[in-house]
Amino acid sequence: MDNANNGGYDTRPPGPPVPIPQPAAPRKRTGWRIFWGVVLTLSILANVFLLFVVLAVVSLFVAGSGDVFESRRDGFAEEVLVRGPAYQKIAVIRIEGIIDGVQSERFRKQLRIAANDENVHAVIVRTLTPGGTIAGSDQIHHEITKFRKQTGKPIVAFMQSVAASGGYYTSVACDTIVAEPTVITGSIGVIMNSLVIKELLEDKLGIQPITIKSGPRKDWPSMFTEVTEEQKQYLFDKIISPAYERFVSIVDEGREGLSEQQVRQLADGSIFAAEEARENGLVDEIGYFEDVVRITEQLAGIRDAKVVEYTRLFSLTALFGGMQSGTAGPWQTHRDALHELTMPQLMYLWEGR
């Protein structure tokens, strides 16, 4: 049937709708984004490297200047504290903060520089520490004793602020001990701390620790069990008492004016102010830095000495080495931190707050 028979209308069913053309989406500039990302990354890396170079150059420039630093040796520079002739020097070495293996090794290196420098006639050990590990304190004491025997150069301990426990342990190795008027010293004794987290694990977290050991004393003291009186006595006999006896003998040997009995009376962990320490024979003199220099000059038989303090130089190698040392995974880092926190620490340390 044509359109004429239907009044001129098209009665055929409508066909599918004709799609309307859509404008093309703009192309993503992925290539440019990648390009600029690479450029930005390279720019950041270049700036970081440039910063390290600038720091190194500035450090070398300062270390080489005659105004403040002189004579670079073994990664250390000499900071001039008091001017004088270069052929008669007094070297100052610091013991500062908690004594540990790192500090004892740094001290050993600096003392070796002083021993090998024929222009150094004496050493001042500037001590500002509440003490630290038994091993670190004993290593420094040993180095001072060896220095005195091998070189014959006098070495003077200068106590400032706090020089207690391990700080006093190292000082008694010196020829003379001078304390500032406000110093806190003494604290002759041993301390060991240990955590017990049994109730926290079992009652609060629902964790049941399991320990398998070859003998009953293998894990004493354990943070997973209550410490019994038997365990305390065992630890006291095995480690506390020997460490205490060594401390007493070191003080008795280093302080000729004190008998062993007098040392034991003082070695109950008590702290002493400067004047009280002098009255009890623990220190020889009370004074300030200029007094220490004068006393050291008298012991060395020199006058108007040049006083220098060893200062660690900036090093890109040490910087990158330090960065690389921290490349361990987070699990290893957290595990080491947990072990350090929970491991019993036997210390020559004054823990006053």
pLDDT digits (tens, 9 = 90+) for 182-193: 999 999 999 988
Sequence-separated (6 or more) residues with CB below 8 Å from residue 113? 73, 74, 76, 91, 310
Give the Cβ contact number of residue 36 at 10 Å.
11
Catalytic residue, chosen from 213, 218, 232, 238, is: 218
Beta bridge mates, 184: 162, 273
232 labelled catalytic: no
Beta bridge mates, 79: 69, 309
Query: In terms of Cα–Cα distance, which of 159, 138, 141 is closest to 149?
Result: 141
Q: What is the pLDDT of residue 175?
A: 97
pLDDT digits (tens, 9 = 90+) for 288-346: 999 999 999 999 999 999 999 998 875 554 445 444 444 444 444 444 444 454 566 78
SS3 186: strand
Burial label, 79 (beta-carbon count in 10 A; 0-12, 13-18, 19+) = middle
165 labelled catalytic: yes
Per the structure block, which two tokens stand in for 93?
A: 């070495």
Query: In terms of Cα–Cα distance, which of 172, 168, 171, 173 is closest to 187?
Result: 168
SS3 190: coil
Catalytic residue, chosen from 165, 171, 187, 222, is: 165
pLDDT digits (tens, 9 = 90+) for 83-103: 999 999 999 999 999 999 999
Kindly list the domain boundaries of the chain, sorted by start residue.
34-64, 65-313+334-349
| pTM reported for the whole predicted model | 0.75
* C-alpha gyration radius of the chain: 35
What is the homologous superfamily of the domain 65-313+334-349 according to CATH? Answer: 2-enoyl-CoA Hydratase; Chain A, domain 1 (3.90.226.10)
